[in-house]
Structure 1
């Protein structure tokens, strides 16, 4: 069990990640996206649309639109810690966004930084995604469709990715109807880049590969891999679906630079082997990243 000091330190680390992620996301939104009416979907996009008609600042609108969603999350998700972090995230995001929009023209040599819409879309999506990844690592969301998605998933069982496609896709289409379809296309690009950058920040680069090997020479291949790569190998007996013949399946996880050596070793040991190599998000445990240090934030 964690000691009190360790628990406090872990919570401080989460709050630091949350605050840093929110500030980065808010700056990306205010500096790169708002000046061109572009947003990677979500409540941020809806705030830009409503701002166009009401004149209320996007930060205030973001906070107001999140109030019913926060209440929804409180009643259906029922997690006080999650709710606290999300309320904090919404408050910081709204405040930093409006401050950045107000003071950026005074302190930056030019605002927006560039008049190139594509550059603003790319950097807004990537920088905002980095901030989003830090927020997720802190165990929170920036509110908005993140809360709605979790509630709908809990009630219906529909995958989150599909829910976000509906909600964010609908908001992007709304932006197209209001500002023109070119803006909608840029928003879709920002949404895509935001997701990539968020995943990369949350999980890190895929530096490991997992190899699945079907062979009739399991002893030789296992020995060759363990000797040549200094990697562990798991094996079990399998039966071919078409032939009904018995074979052996080996599983071996290696670092990316070892892939070519793995292919060479397998081909030299059993030229009739069947080899599949796939990406792995992470490898934790002996020989890779320590499992204890890599547990959730």
Structure 2
């Protein structure tokens, strides 16, 4: 179990480094804005530097913005997910301060594309290993549970505010290049992780009782079991069906590998659910 946590922390560390590289070498020098709280911190840092005597760096602002969100996430989303997310934010803020802001290319389009791709690789693998880059993901999840609307709506709304604000203050050309960066990063994250908020796992196993107990100990999700029989071996098994959020996929994968490494699991993207699905 220790090696698993070490590997997870390593992924979070690499994700934070990639995010800082994308910001300080590509997006910030080109005045192209990132998505989520990183983009807000970047925008606020520039506004404060130009319109007030107080100047705070993007890294410091990112950390400050995430402190109240971490408290909310700890209470409303889940302690493990929130803890690793805050570690990711802290490391990102640290590397944003350590890595110097330097222009690699004078081409704004190259900066937007490469900045978006590099940041997305870090975010995608961080999500895949059961954490997030903080801020927006946690806020969107809390609002989604309160209003029973998809997380994507809130993410899109906040990113739209960033783009519109950047357009009004610094010209619509910068806003359009910000759109390029956001589109690029979204596509890469979808390829690495998954674009759907909910997933259906179908698990064929001989150890259904042990697996059910292990899943219920970690996840508060209903499980439907269906008798199954191998067509070639004629072995009697059980098919377990469970609907989860994409943030629970990491935990489910680890549970299955620990309890029954020989289980066959099919993960299907779920586009809609009718009926009860626990959100709190």
Q: TM-score per shorter chain, which class?
A: 0.5 to 0.7
TM-score of the pair, normalised by structure 1: 0.62
The CA distance in 1 between the partners of 2:266 and 2:84, in whole Å, is 22
Aligned residue for 2:86?
Answer: 87
The CA distance in 2 between the partners of 1:144 and 1:45, in whole Å, is 11
Query: How far did 1:294 drift?
Result: 9.2
Aligned residue for 2:109?
Answer: 118
In the alignment, is the contact (CA less than 8 A) between 1:15 and 1:138 conserved in 2? no
Query: How far did 1:291 drift?
Result: 6.0
User: Matches of residues 206-221 of structure 1 in structure 2 within 5 Å?
Assistant: none
Aligned residue for 1:57?
Answer: 57
Query: How far did 1:73 drift?
Result: 1.2
Q: Point out the structure with max Rg over C-alpha.
A: 1
The CA distance in 2 between the partners of 1:49 and 1:171, in whole Å, is 8
Unaligned runs of 5+ in 2: 49-54, 195-230, 232-261, 268-280
The CA distance in 2 between the partners of 1:294 and 1:11, in whole Å, is 25
In the alignment, is the contact (CA less than 8 A) between 1:45 and 1:172 conserved in 2? no
Aligned residue for 2:183?
Answer: 192
Aligned residue for 2:160?
Answer: 169
The CA distance in 2 between the partners of 1:26 and 1:67, in whole Å, is 19
In the alignment, is the contact (CA less than 8 A) between 1:32 and 1:124 conserved in 2? yes
Unaligned runs of 5+ in 1: 1-6, 105-110, 204-231, 233-289
The CA distance in 2 between the partners of 1:74 and 1:190, in whole Å, is 30
Query: How far did 1:41 drift?
Result: 2.2
DSSP 3-state at the match of 1:113 = coil
The runs of at least 4 consecutive aligned structure 1 residues that moved more than 4 Å come to 290-295
In the alignment, is the contact (CA less than 8 A) between 2:33 and 2:43 conserved in 1? no
Q: Deviations over 1:200-248 (max 9, x none)?
A: 2225xxxxxxxxxxxxxxxxxxxxxxxxxxxx9xxxxxxxxxxxxxxxx
Change beyond 3 A, Cα 1:20–1:291 = farther
